[in-house]
Amino acid sequence: MSDTDILTQNTIPHTMRAIVLEKPNDQINLADIELPVPECSDNELLIKVEYVGLNPVDGHFAKSGFCQWQYPHILGLDAVGVVVKASKGIFPNVGERVMWHANVGGQGVLSEYTKVPNFAVSIVPQELNPAVAAVLPCAGMAALISLDKISITEGQTVFIEGGAGAVGQFAIQYAKQRGADVFATASKKNHKLVKQLGADVVFDYNDKKLCEKIRRELGPQGFDAVIDTVGGESTARNIELMRFCGKIACLNPLPCFEQDLMYRRAPNISVVSLGGAWLANSLCAQQRLSFMGNLLLEGATNGDIKAPTLTPVEFNANAVSNALNTQLAGGFTGKHVVKIGC
Q: In the chain, where are the structural domains located?
A: 4-135+275-339, 139-271
Assign a CATH topology to domain 139-271: Rossmann fold (3.40.50)
pLDDT at 2: 36
* Architecture of the domain spanning 4-135+275-339: Alpha-Beta Complex (3.90)
Per-residue pLDDT reduced to its tens digit, 267-310: 999 999 999 999 999 999 999 999 999 999 999 999 999 999 99
Computed over every residue of the chain, the mean pLDDT equals 94
SS3 content of the chain, % helix, strand, coil (to 5): 35, 25, 40
In 3D space, the residue among 131, 78, 107, 106 whose CA is nearest the CA of residue 16 turns out to be 107
**DSSP-derived secondary structure for 75-134:** ---EEEEEEEEEETT-SSPTT-EEEEE--TTS--S-BSEEEEEGGG-EEPPTTS-HHHHH
Q: Is 336 a residue whose pLDDT tops 70?
A: yes
pLDDT at 341: 74
User: In angstroms, rounded to a whole number, what is the distance separating the alpha carbons of residues 229 and 154?
Assistant: 22
User: In angstroms, rounded to a whole number, what is the distance separating the alpha carbons of residues 315 and 326?
Assistant: 16
User: CB of 78 within 8 A of CB of 136?
Assistant: yes
Model-wide pTM > 0.85: yes
Per-residue pLDDT reduced to its tens digit, 142-157: 999 999 999 999 999 9
pLDDT at 11: 82
User: In angstroms, rounded to a whole number, what is the distance separating the alpha carbons of residues 213 and 230?
Assistant: 19
Please count the other Cβ atoms lying within 10 Å of the Cβ belonging to residue 64. Answer: 11
Angle subtended by helix axes 137-150 and 283-302, to nearest 10: 110
- β partners of residue 186: 204
User: In angstroms, rounded to a whole number, what is the distance separating the alpha carbons of residues 54 and 233?
Assistant: 26
Angle subtended by helix axes 137-150 and 166-177, to nearest 10: 50
Pairing between β-strand 181-186 and β-strand 157-161 as defined by DSSP bridges? parallel
In 3D space, the residue among 90, 96, 118 whose CA is nearest the CA of residue 4 turns out to be 90
C-alpha 24 chain-centroid distance: 21
pLDDT at 1: 37
In 3D space, the residue among 138, 162, 144, 147 whose CA is nearest the CA of residue 57 turns out to be 138
